[in-house]
Amino acid sequence: DDLRSFLDTHAIEGRYVFVRTRHLARNSGSTITDEIVDLFENLGSDPSPTPYSTTIASQTYNDVWVMRTRVGDPEETVEQVSPSSESSEVKEISLTVDLDFPYPEGSTVTPLIGPVTEWQSLSWIARAASADSEVEVEVLAPDSTRLLGPFTGLDGTTALASLDAETHPRIRLRATVRDSSVRRPPQLDEWSLQLRGIPEIAVDAAALQAIADTLQEGATLDINLPVSNLGAVPAENVSIAYSFTSSADNTTNIVARDTLDRVEPGDSQMSQVAVSTSGTTGATTLDGTASSPAPERLTFNNTAIRNIRVLGDDAPPVLRVFSDGRQLQARPEADDLNLKDARLPFVSLRPTLEIRLEDENPFFAIDDTSHVEVFLSEGLPSSDTGFLSTYEQIGFGDGVLSFTPSDPTEGVQEALITYTPDFTGRDSTYTLRIEGRDASDNEIEPYEVSFRVETEQRIRDVYPYPNPMSTQTTFAFRVEGGQTEDLENFRLRIYTVAGRLIREFGARDLQTGRLRVGWNLLPWDGRDEDGDRVATGVYLYRVSVQGSDGTFTGDVEKVAVIR
C-alpha cells in the first residue's frame, strides 16, 4: 500500500525513477508477490501498455537488481540483475547514467538588483533553438510582483523611465524561454540594465578612537569624523547623527547633528561637532551614524562608535568665607560657646566679607545668584532657617551683596559673593549662614561662621611664638573692635632690659602688609636695626596702634633669645 501510494503520487510524466533491491536477510520466502511486480511494471496502479520492467517477474528478494526508467518512456528502461546462487560473491551492482531533461519551457530570476537612483533601460540577447523559440522578459518587485512587461522577442531594448527609482529602488528580472517544437528552449546569452548608481557613504570608524576613554561629566567632546563617498554619484544632504547610549538602561539620546551639503564620488569631508557630556554618566557608547536621502547598498560602514566612561559630578562645591582677606573658620560647635567667647573672631564695623564658592569640575560654571543663599542672625542661633528661625535672608537686591560668576575658561570654577554690611553702632555677635550648590545641584552642608563686632578698639593677646626663640619668632596679637580703615601708625618696638630700643616694626612688616581688625602676625628674625643678630638674653617688646579713639598701647612683655 505504501509503495502504491508513493508511485501514484510521485511517478508522473517525465520523471525518472530509480529502483534497487536490498538484501534483508529474510528468514521467510523470497518470492516477490504479483502485486509488487505489477506496481513496478506499471510504475503505479494504472496498467501500462508496455511494461517498464521485463525482469522483475523472474526475480526474488535474494537477487541483486537495479532499474532506471522514465515515466512515459518505457523504452528508456535500463536494468541490471545478478541472480542469486550459493557460489555467487556478488552483493552489489551499480548503474551510472547521464540524464537529459528536454523540457520545452523554463525561467530564470536574478537576485535583487539595486538600489539605484534612476532606472534607464533594459536589454537582452537570446539564441533560438528553432523558429518557434520565444523569450519573455519581466521586471519584478522584490516580492516578485510584476512591475513592467512582459517584453517579448529573442533580443530587444526597452526604456525603464516609467519605473520610479524612489518607489522601487530594487528590482528583479525574470526571463521565460520556451520552444514547443523541438522541446529545447532558446538560450539567454546576455541581459543588462542601464541605470544611474547610488552614493555609498562610509565613515572612518578609527577617527573616534582619538577621544579619551574616561571623561568627567560636563566635558566637551570635539569630534572630527571623516565621511567618504565610495559610490558613483554625488551624495546630497548627508546627515550625521551623534548619540549617547547608556549601558545602565540601554537608552539612546541624540546629542548632536551635522549636515554635509554634498560629498562628491571618491571624495571625503569632515563632520565637526562639539558634544557635551552634561547629563551623561557611567559606561556610555558614543555613536556617529551618517545617512543620505538616497538608498545605499551597504550600511554597516555608515557608523563609528567609541566606548567611553563619564565620571558623574557628585561632589559638592567648597565654600570659604574671608573678612578683609582673612579666612573665617566655621563656628565652633562647642557646648560652652557664648556670645563673648574668645574663640569668636572680630571683624571690622564695616567689613568686606568674601564668600568663595569653588567647584573642582571645570566644565560647569557657577554663573548666577541661584547657587547661593546668604542669611544673617544676631547672636548664636540654631541652624534652622525655617519660619521660626532668627536668620534673615540677605537679598542680592539689598545693595550689600554682589555676585561675580566663575570664569568658564579657568580650570576650577570659583564664584565670588561679596557682602559689605554696616555694623556701626551695633556692638554684638553675629552669625553668617551660607547655603550653596554647584551647577549639578550638589549642595554643601550649610556653612555657619560667627563673629563679634565692637565699636571700642583695643589690642589683646600679644605674644611671640616660639618663646624662647633661637633664630626666628612670630609676634601674634589681636585687634578687637572698630574698623580696619581707622587703624594707623602701628608700631612694635623691641628693647633691651636696660630700655635701649634695638628694633622697630611698622604695618608694612606684618605678614599681610597692613594692620586689620582681628589677628595679625609679624615675624622677627632676631636681628637689630643694623642687621646684626642680638645676643642671648631677655628682651622687652610693646605694641601700639593709633585708632579713631586715640592710641592703644599694649602691655610690656618679654621674649627670650637663646643662641
The predicted-structure confidence for 341-375, as pLDDT tens digits, reads as follows: 778 888 888 889 999 999 988 888 898 999 999 99
CA angle 502, 504, 509 (to 5 degrees): 135
Q: How far out from the chain centre does Cα 451 lie?
A: 50
Distance between CA 418 and CA 397 in Å, rounded?
A: 13
Report the mean per-residue pLDDT for the chain.
89
Given the C-alpha cell 519573455, which residue does it identify?
136
Lowest mean pLDDT segment, chosen from 61-70, 203-212, 493-502: 61-70
* 123 within 8 A of 191, measured Cβ to Cβ: yes
Strand partners, 235: 263
Non-local (6+) Cβ contacts of 29 within 8 A are: none
Question: So what's the pLDDT on residue 27?
Answer: 55
- What average pLDDT does this structure show over 436-452? 91
Q: Which of 43-52, 328-337, 343-352, 358-367 has the highest mean pLDDT?
A: 43-52
Closest CA to 489 of 442, 552, 431, 436: 552
Q: For residue 150, say if its preceding peptide bond is cis, omega within 30 degrees of 0.
A: yes
* 491 within 8 A of 544, measured Cβ to Cβ: yes
Lowest mean pLDDT segment, chosen from 229-243, 288-302, 329-343: 329-343
Question: So what's the pLDDT on residue 444?
Answer: 93
Beta strands in 380-427 (DSSP E): 392-394, 401-404, 413-419
State pLDDT tens for residues 60-94. Answer: 887 888 999 999 999 999 999 876 654 456 677 88
State pLDDT tens for residues 395-438. Answer: 998 889 999 998 877 778 899 999 999 998 888 999 999 999 99
Closest CA to 123 of 169, 170, 171, 189: 189
Lowest mean pLDDT segment, chosen from 264-278, 358-372, 374-388, 430-444: 374-388
Distances, alpha carbon 158 to alpha carbons 108, 282, 431, 438, 561, in Å: 19, 60, 94, 72, 116
Lowest mean pLDDT segment, chosen from 181-195, 246-260, 404-418: 404-418
Q: Which residue has the higher pLDDT, 216 or 100?
A: 216
Question: So what's the pLDDT on residue 518?
Answer: 87
What Rg, from alpha-carbon coordinates, does the chain have? 52
Q: For residue 115, say if its preceding peptide bond is cis, omega within 30 degrees of 0.
A: yes
* 106 within 8 A of 183, measured Cβ to Cβ: no
- The pTM for the full model equals 0.58
| pLDDT-derived band at 388, boundaries 50, 70, 90 | low
Distance between CA 215 and CA 280 in Å, rounded?
A: 10
- What average pLDDT does this structure show over 456-463? 82
Question: So what's the pLDDT on residue 101?
Answer: 67
The three three-digit cell numbers of residue 215, written as one number? 571623561
State pLDDT tens for residues 121-131. Answer: 999 999 998 99
Give the helix/strand (H/E) hosting 4: helix 2-10
Q: Which residue has the higher pLDDT, 474 or 410?
A: 474
Per the rule left: phi > 0, alpha: psi between -120 and 50, beta: everything else, 218 is left
* 323 within 8 A of 375, measured Cβ to Cβ: no
DSSP 53: -
Distance between CA 349 and CA 427 in Å, rounded?
A: 9
Question: So what's the pLDDT on residue 294?
Answer: 85
- What average pLDDT does this structure show over 495-519? 90
DSSP 143: T
Q: Is 398 helix (H, G, I), strand (E, B) or coil?
A: coil
Q: For residue 468, say if its preceding peptide bond is cis, omega within 30 degrees of 0.
A: yes
Q: DSSP alpha helices (H): ranges in 61-207?
A: none
